[in-house]
Structure 1
Amino acid sequence: MSHDYLAWGWTPGAGLDGLRPIRKPLPTPGPGEVLIANRAIALNPVDWKICEWGHPAWQQGTVPGVDGMGVVAATGEGVGLPLGSRVAYHQSLARDGSFAEYCLVDASLVMAVPAHLEDAAAAALPCPALTAWQALAKIPEGASRDVLVVGAGGAVGFYLAQLALQRGLQVWATASPRHHATLRALGVVGVFDYRAHDWQAQLQTALGERPLHALFDTVSGAHASGLASLLGYNGHLVCIQDRQESAPLPAFSTAISLHEVALNSIHAHGQLLDRQQLKAQGQQLLQQMADGRLVAPQRQAFDFAELPQALNKLKEGNQGGKWVALLP
């Protein structure tokens, strides 16, 4: 094993243009830590956003990236993972991330990868699939089983639609037309083009007398607020981007509940039981994917040496699919 490794380092105030290839000293895992030799890394919208916005814990040379997959290269005290184990992870934003040959992570959140699941598929799962699972877990049983996923063409919405269907919910969705056939094939009962001026009226007509029990918005807090009136009495508005800082509807009207989703916050605020639950769920999702019970979004391959360009393309949204790079 080398004494240093290649990584993409961040430059304060420079955004994506400030990402530079650097070499960093190879860290030694401390108690409860594991060093992973990355085999695949996946891009998520949070990656380009934090590169542009910055993070309180970041400084010159901090490595971005939250999702990765690799093999256990070294372990710290109290970690029982065998060397060479294939694992996936969702890294804390406050630590050096996955955009590197190696990543030092908290062993309590490392997820075992099934033997017959491809490296790229495993790397692409943690952030979007676990976010989708957390979003769905916010919703209790209701009088209606109709739910709406706004932005089901994206990775989070795509997984969320499937998990909601597995739970026995009747799923409606918005997405660009190129995703409609795929979503319907999964079992989504109706898909609307979010650019159509009357898509909300189409949904309400299709629902008839049934109230909408939950609405999952993957766009923004402001966007979610504008859709709150679609919900029925005691409905649930779940924001996957941003959150509601103030109630979007008058008090003592439909009495909807507001929910935020913050997957990465588990690193700073989750207790041991939270971590154990998330790890177990991540491993279950990986197994479902390996067994074909969970369909992954289409993947878009890129070269690790062209990571900043791939992040820019993800930001621009000019190509579909989940961006994944394989490392040597």
Structure 2
Amino acid sequence: MTDTNLPPRVEEVAQRPSRNQDAQAGFETPPSSAPQPSHGAPRPSQALDTLDALEAEAIHIIREVVAEFERPVLLFSGGKDSVVVLHLATKAFWPAKVPFPVLHVDTGHNFPEVLRFRDETVERLGIRLEVASVQDYLDDGRLQERADGTRNPLQTQPLLDAIAAGRHDAVFGGARRDEDKARAKERIISLRDEFGQWDPRNQRPELWSLYNGRHTVGQHVRAFPISNWTELDVWRYIEREQISLPPLYFAHEREVYARDGMWLAVSDVSAPRAGETIERRTVRYRTVGDLSCTGAVLSDAATVSDIVREVAASTLTERGATRADDRLSEAAMEDRKKDGYF
């Protein structure tokens, strides 16, 4: 005899929620982790797939940091990795708003498409945007332009000053271990000293997903919720969640010129040298940085599904393939991180 007063089966309650079908809605509609009513016969329990496990880990990290620290902030450039972290944060605290601001270090050499996307996103979400301007530091003499014209290495001081001014004790970022050897050394929660500097030899163990956020006055931590993700994981997650991105990630025609094995865009801050020819090519960007140091790749990938297939076949990370600032030396990224760069 069946007791109709018994609670619903676990499988009914825990069945996978439906995905957001409206790509244009961005983060406006309830994220896919929000509870959904069950329909039909209960399904057998299913193990988490890779994306489910990565998502759960990232949301756990975000919630742990917010619970443990007083004034967290998220570095948000409008690039795909920071967009994914922000999407995860919306899911972590839904239906409430994201309980921390976002910070962008604006070098003045950013892609216009990315800045527009940044502004539209924070307005839609109702999140406070903090901007640290490299141009302000150049104008008042606190920084000097580099001979090579790139401003990415100049972000460190404005970033550290913005962290101090906002009294941020935890700074979220979208860095991943597969991007670079220096980033592979990072822990999920990575301590920075009173000068904002990182010592790769002073790393705390993180056993059984236990994160040590202990710090003293003046110190802060960098938190990397998607540290264990790969570029392919990021794109598969973007495809599954239908996350909106700046248009330059998809194939488009642009005037470019070849330099050091990369296709650089023609712009006010990036121009060909003698002997370099401007060509009109169909390209897309795998990562977002300054116009002066971020290269495009020749590609016809016009949809996220196309990009997933393209990335799956790639043998180079996005930074290794398209970032001139990482080619300044063998340890370029690690040297910048030791000084306080993200």
TM range (shorter): 0.3 to 0.5
TM-score using structure 1 length: 0.35
TM-score using structure 2 length: 0.34
Q: Higher strand fraction: Structure 1 or Structure 2? A: 1
